[in-house]
Structure formats: C-alpha cells, structure tokens
Structure 1
C-alpha cells in the first residue's frame, strides 16, 4: 500500500490513496476539514463499524443503522498522542439481540479492526454499545 500527501497552502494538505481517493486534511484551528488526528480517530470508528455491520448481517440481525460515537483523550504535551479512546456503538434495528452486538463489537476489537488493533499498542481503547429498537 502506498499514498501521497501534498501540501496545498497554509495548514492544508491533500492525501491521495493508492486506490485513487483524495482526502483533504487541515491542521489549522478554524478549518472546515478534519485534522490528521481527527482522521485517525474517525478511521478507528469506521474500521470497527465495518466489522460490526458485517458481523451483524452474517448473524441475520435486522439492523437499520449503526453509529459509533468516538471520544478520545490526548497527551497534554507534544507529541500529543492519543492516550485513551472509547468507541460507543448505537445499533438501531428490529429485535436486535444484545448478545450479537456484544459479540460483534468484541470480535472487531480483538480480531478484525486493524486500525484499533494497531493503536491499542499505545492507546487505552474501550468499547461500549447500546441497542435501540426501531419503530
């Protein structure tokens, strides 16, 4: 895998992935685009969400929505790395079994989510979830 990041101006950069997708990053405080650290946080959430959705589908759960609410703490001084991160999943569907959601979250955390598994070597990562019945 490879990628390229090109400086545009100020604190704005454009990343281009090996697959040809572009992402705009901005480290400025008043930016309309995510910072690199925000992208890392959202990448962990997306990676794990892909797993959770896939596992729940395979378990034949009727899922209408999955949202992961991410929170993180960073070190006070440079380098301002993440020290803690929580991924809280909100799964909406029809009669979705909590044990299936718990298993999906656990499998993602322990086996499948490469982003979170890489980060957990230096970040304390926790997971939580709730199931909301669709009406």
Structure 2
C-alpha cells in the first residue's frame, strides 16, 4: 500500500496539503520563522500523527473490550535537539482516561497493544527518539 499527499505552496511560508481521503490542511510557520501562524507546524504534526495513530488503536480496543470510558485524551510532547536539523530525541505520550467505571488493567492492555504491536507511527518514532508512555486515570 502506498500513501500519497499533494502539498501546494500558497505563498510566503504557507502550504495546503491533501490527505489520501482528500481532506485538506494548512501548514504554516510561526511568525518567528517568517510565517503568519495560520496553519499547523510540521514537527507538531508529527506528534499529532503519533497521537492519532495510537488513539485510533486504543479507541477501537475500548469498543472491542466494551469498556466504560466517558472521555479519553492523549497529550504528546516532543523534546528537540539543540543542533540543526532539529529532531525529536525524546517524546512523551500521556494517555488520560476519564470515567466512573474505569478498568485500569484492561485500559493498560489496550494502550500496550497499541504501543507494542499496532501503531506504525509509534514504531517509526522509536527509530529516532526515546518514547515514554504514561497512563492516567481520572474519576468523574
């Protein structure tokens, strides 16, 4: 399988990029780098891709395991190297589960299946960064 996106320059530091589904997103640099901040930043998009990939896995497993989760968020943070090209050397992924009937052992299994087996973006990140995982449970 091959994924293809098309990215078109809109002027200044702004681009419009397609997704294989045809959806569009805008990419732009911040003012500190000559952009207008009217779009998503490329490196931050990598963190979003990581969160989205593992999030889809975990959401699917929550449904398959019939778990009672009221809400679920993923906070992803990447630390960049000092020298150019700046790359992520450490990435933290915090899973936050909210609900009154959470089952921590099953949710931990769901996260671990994503992290260790299913999430291809997670595996790509592991090729160049240390990935740290934490799970947090919140009662409503």
Tell me the TM-score normalized by structure 2. 0.90
Higher strand content, 1 or 2 = 1
Matched residues in 2 for 1:82 and 1:89: separation? 19
Matches for 1:75-86 after TM superposition, within 5 Å:
75-86=81-92
- Would the aligned equivalents of 2:29 and 2:37 in 1 still touch at CA under 8 Å? yes
Matched residues in 2 for 1:114 and 1:59: separation? 22
For structure 1, the residue ranges without an aligned partner over 5 or more in a row are none
For structure 2, the residue ranges without an aligned partner over 5 or more in a row are none
Of 9-18 and 25-34, more deviation after overlay is shown by: 25-34
3-state DSSP of counterpart to 1:76: coil
**Which of 51, 69, 75 matches 1:63?**
69
Structure 1 residue 94: deviation in Å? 3.0
Tell me the TM-score normalized by structure 1. 0.93
Matched residues in 2 for 1:99 and 1:126: separation? 19
Report what 1:45 is aligned to: 51
Q: Which runs of 4+ in 1 moved over 6 A?
A: none
Report what 1:115 is aligned to: 121
Over aligned residues, Cα RMSD in angstroms?
1.2
- Would the aligned equivalents of 1:57 and 1:63 in 2 still touch at CA under 8 Å? no
